[in-house]
Amino acid sequence: MKKIYPDASAALSGLLFDGMTIASGGFGLCGIPELLIAAIRQAGTKDLTVASNNAGVDGFGLGVLLESRQVKKMISSYVGENAEFMRQYLSGELELEFNPQGTLAERMRAGGAGIPGFYTRTGVGTVIAEGKEHKDFDGKTYILERAINADLSIVKAWKADPSGNLVFRKTARNFNPPAATCGRTCVAEVEEIVPLGSLDPDTIHLPGIYVHRIVQGQHEKRIEQRTVRKKEAV
C-alpha cells in the first residue's frame, strides 16, 4: 500500500465529512499536526468533534478551526491558552467535555486497543463523575470512562519510513501515539521520510500498521509561552 502523499490536502482526500470526530495529537504547540489542521480548515469541514489535550492558541493549531467555526465540540483537558475558545464556550457556541489529562490519554489508548471502557478513581466526587456509572473495587469507588473511537486521527511525528513506522521527538511523544491508534484512519505529517529499513526497530514509537497515510512538510516550531530571565545589572 502506498502511504506517502504529496501534501496535506491530498492526504485527507476522501476522509473528511461534516459531523465527524477527529482525534488530534500534540500538547500545547508541541507535536501538533499543524499542516493537516490547516488543510481541514481549507476543506471547510464543519460540525466537528475534536478530541485533543488542548485547543491550540488563537490563530494557530486547532485555534484556526475555532476561528472558522468548524468545531462543534471539544473533548479536552487544558484549554487555557485560547481566548476564542473561552469566548465561544462562555457564550454557548461551543460544547466542551472536560477530561482529566490522564483519563483523556487512556480513553484514546483504550479506543486503539479495542477496550470499550475502563474504571478509574480520577474524578470521583467531582463534576467529572456526574452521570457516569460508579462501582466499588476493594472498598474504593471508581467511575466508568468510555473509550474514544474517532473517524480520523491526525498526528505529527519527527520521522517516518514508507511503511508508516513513526518516531516522535522528545515531548512530542505525548498524546500523538494514543491519538493515532484510536482513529478509523490515521494520517501523519512528518518532518522527514527516511528509507525503509533505516529506522532502528527499537526506536520506533508507533508501528506502521496504525498509520494509513503520510505527508512530509515544513513546520513553524512556535513557542507557546516564551519565558526569559531578566537581565542582571552589571
DSSP 186-229: EEEEEEEE--TT-S-GGG-SB-GGG--EEEE-------SS---P
Grid-cell match 499543524, residue found: 34
What total of structural domains would you count in the chain?
Answer: 1
Residue 102 lies in a domain: yes
Which has the closest alpha carbon to 16: 59, 48, 63?
Answer: 48
Query: According to the model, what pLDDT value does residue 234 have?
Result: 63
Local mean pLDDT, 10-residue blocks, the chain (234 residues): 94 98 91 95 97 88 93 91 87 93 97 97 95 97 98 98 96 93 97 96 96 92 74 71
Residue 132 lies in a domain: no
Residue 96 lies in a domain: yes
Say which CATH number the domain at 89 has: 3.40.1080.10
Query: According to the model, what pLDDT value does residue 192 have?
Result: 96
Domain span at residue 86 reads: 4-115+148-216
Residue 98 lies in a domain: yes
Residue 80 lies in a domain: yes
Residue 184 lies in a domain: yes
Residue 49 lies in a domain: yes
For the sheet with 134-137, list strands across it. 117-120, 140-146, 134-137
Residue 111 lies in a domain: yes
Query: According to the model, what pLDDT value does residue 224 have?
Result: 66
Query: According to the model, what pLDDT value does residue 178 have?
Result: 97
**Helix H or strand E segment including 155:** strand 150-160
DSSP 73-130: EEEES--TT-HHHHHHHHTTSSEEEE--HHHHHHHHHHHHHT--EEEESTTTTSGGGT
